[in-house]
Amino acid sequence: MSRRERFGPVVRLKGMRSLRIAATALIVCAALAACGGQEAGNGPTDPTPTGAPTVTDLPTPDPTGSVTPPTDPADPVDPTAPVSPPVTKRPASPSATAGSMLTGTVESGVEPGCLLLDGYLLLGGPRDIITEGARVTVTGRPEPGMLTTCQQGIPFLVTTAKRA
């Protein structure tokens, strides 16, 4: 039995090559169509979904010569109004204010080297006195906005420490 009888007519490679080229072209066209909605930053852009002006919109000059900043309809705050000071988070304990004193037993934190006392993360101070399990009295001040690697407790900057 000959090969032609077993497998039927031989498909020419030229036809397969055309099929591969067509498939590649189709994939490239699909990729370009997917990117077609993205603009390269040339020309005007559509407004945001909320209808607010885009970041590239410039302030419009006032006939008097002053500049009026763009406003966001979603945020009705007057840009010329005075800004109130930010609200800071209060310490967990009312006794822990600036120049405050904490007394208690030092506990180990979840991270290595982190020591806690009544919900405060003790930073600084003599480490020979401030050890895990020691009953101490520390003075210092809380720093609720300070970032630490301990990920727990309100940071408390220790100025002095003594065994209780």
We report the CATH number of the domain holding residue 157 as: 2.40.50
Provide the number of structural domains found in the chain: 1
Instruction: Tell me whether residue 5 is in a domain.
Output: no
pLDDT for 109: 93
Instruction: Tell me whether residue 152 is in a domain.
Output: yes
Instruction: Tell me whether residue 33 is in a domain.
Output: no
pLDDT for 121: 96
Instruction: Tell me whether residue 26 is in a domain.
Output: no
Q: Which pairs with CB-CB distance under 8 Å and at least 24 residues apart come from 112-115? A: 113/150, 114/148, 114/149, 114/150, 114/152, 114/153
pLDDT for 24: 83
pLDDT for 116: 96
Instruction: Tell me whether residue 55 is in a domain.
Output: no
pLDDT by residue, tens only, the chain of 164 residues = 665 666 665 555 556 677 777 778 778 777 777 766 555 555 555 555 666 655 555 555 555 655 555 555 565 555 566 655 555 444 454 444 558 999 999 999 999 999 999 999 999 999 999 999 999 999 999 999 999 999 899 999 999 999 98
Instruction: Tell me whether residue 158 is in a domain.
Output: yes
pTM: 0.42
Instruction: Tell me whether residue 69 is in a domain.
Output: no
pLDDT for 22: 76
Q: Which domain holds residue 156?
A: 100-163
pLDDT for 10: 54
pLDDT for 124: 93
pLDDT for 25: 79
pLDDT for 37: 56
Instruction: Tell me whether residue 126 is in a domain.
Output: yes
